Structure 1
Amino acid sequence: MLTLIHFDFCPFCQRVRLALGYKGIVFNEQPARFYGPEYFQSISGFGRLPVVEYPDGSRQGESLEIIAELDRRFPETPPLCRGAISDSEWEGVQAWRARISDMLFRLIAPTLPQYASLGPDPRAMTYYRNRMESWLGDTLEGLQKRRKEWYAGMEVDLQDVAARVAVHGFYTPMFSVADTLITGDLTGLRLLEDIQLPPELTTYFARVEAAAQTTLLPTRG
């Protein structure tokens, strides 16, 4: 059986969870803690996650490469890449994602400690805080205070994709790798305080999760 080594809060890991769920591939989960590259290497053979171990014992990292490989290894399941989205559409969603990247991570970095595997774990939070604050150039608290500024900088791009999924249902009329990327990467926005996402996006996220039989939000309580 396939094994997924992952963090529940990680957007890149969430992409793969959505892909596996949509394809109906039964898999073992090996949840990991955010303790740093040496720990990641010790449990997966890679310096970062997600990592998939296939039934033949081979392992693979990089979320989008994993999703493409799932199409190849499980041809009887619904396609997510070729056959589900055109090259030009995929290039379009990747360009869209690149435009919002800096602002997106400044928005979601303070929200991810709401996940039980991160926020309550002092060792994980120490590594997470140091890594995020070094990368993004501000404290998590400072980023949180400026959330409306970051959101305003990407609001037009969010409205664009909201309008598209309102028409098609998914990014295209078929569920595809684009939906795993958009929903996985944007899920942290659903945890923002005092910011209302376009209702079309809220409906879309629920539609994607239902199609993948997967819930990405942190468990409450």
Structure 2
Amino acid sequence: MKLYIYEHCPFCTRARLALGVKNIPYETVVVMEGDAETPTRLIGKKAVPILERPDGSHMGESLDIVHFIDQLDTPMFDGPANEALDAWGTDAWRLGLKLFIPRFTKAQFAELATPQAREAYRLREEKAFGDLEALLADSAALIAEMNVKLKVLSGLLGEHEFSGISDIKLWPILRSLSIVKGLEFPPAVLGYMETIEKAAGVNLLFDQAM
């Protein structure tokens, strides 16, 4: 199977995470930013992730891909959701975007390897989120707000280990936040992040923190 992704994309990370923790072999294909032709040819629109299934057909939508992957062998992600973790992710998402999106535009990802691709991405995100430099300038206040939320998450995680679909949705948010220098990840949160990183073989972004 092939998985078409952007390396930075949290939705792509969901699919990578599912494949990784289930030890299902796959080939990664990075789609360059600004390349609308490839995804449109495969699924009819510019969107990733895209999974090429064993029969050669293609599918999009991250959670649909996760469900398909899960049915290839003994299901791991078909149990009840953890409502508290889901609620935390929903609450933290909008704030998180303000922190990690401006940093993504400056980071080293394969899909941004050319000046043209990086500029296409910057323009796309600026259209969605406004002045990215203004968001960076507001980092201190945004980081302080997110640090409070991370303390709340620590209490929710406790001794929680990877167990289902809620982790598939939560971990990519935390991976995205790992690019934000100054965030304080409590031990329970950091341990959770690192344990899943090793299990899935998908890197956190602390080495690019800014």
TM range (shorter): 0.7 to 0.9
The alpha-carbon deviation at position 39 of structure 1 amounts to 4.6
Cross-structure match for 1:206: 194
Identity of aligned residues (%): 29
Residues 119 and 51 (structure 1 numbering): CA distance in 2 closer, same or farther, change over 3 Å?
closer
Corresponding residue number in structure 2 for 1:108: 100
Find the partner of 1:165 among 157, 160, 182: 157
* Structure 2, unpaired ranges of 5+: none
Q: What is the CA–CA distance in structure 2 between the aligned matches of 1:96 and 1:47, rounded to whole Å?
A: 29
| Alignment partner of 1:122 out of 115, 124, 127 | 115
Cα shift readout 1:79-111 (whole Å, capped 9, x = no counterpart): 33223xx14x2x443332222222111100122
RMSD of aligned C-alpha atoms? 2.3
Return 5+ residue gaps in structure 1 as ranges. Answer: none
1:134 aligns with 2:127: yes
What is the one-letter code of the residue matched to 1:34? E
Q: What secondary structure does 1:34 align onto? A: coil
Separation in structure 1 between the aligned mates of residue 96 and residue 38 of structure 2, nearest angstrom: 27
The offset of 1:119, in angstroms, is: 4.7
Query: Which residue is 1:144 aligned to?
Result: 136
Distance 1:194 1:216, change over 3 A: closer
Residue correspondences, number: 207
TM-score (norm 2): 0.86
TM-score, reference length from structure 1: 0.82
Among 69, 74, 80, which residue is 2:76 paired with?
A: 80
Task: Assess, with a 3 A threshold, how the Cα gap between structure 1 residues 5 and 119 changes in structure 2: closer, same or farther.
Answer: closer
Q: Given the superposition, is the C-alpha separation of residues 62 and 93 from structure 1 closer, same or farther in structure 2, using an over 3 Å criterion?
A: farther
Q: Is the 8 A contact 2:143 2:182 kept in 1?
A: no
- Checking the alignment, whether the CA contact within 8 Å between 2:84 and 2:156 is kept in structure 1 is no
Asked if structure 1 preserves the Cα contact closer than 8 Å seen for 2:31 and 2:38, the reply is no
After superposition, the Cα gap between the structure-2 partners of 1:216 and 1:156, relative to the gap in structure 1 and judged at 3 Å, is closer
Q: Matches of 1:218 and 1:3 in 2, distance apart? A: 27
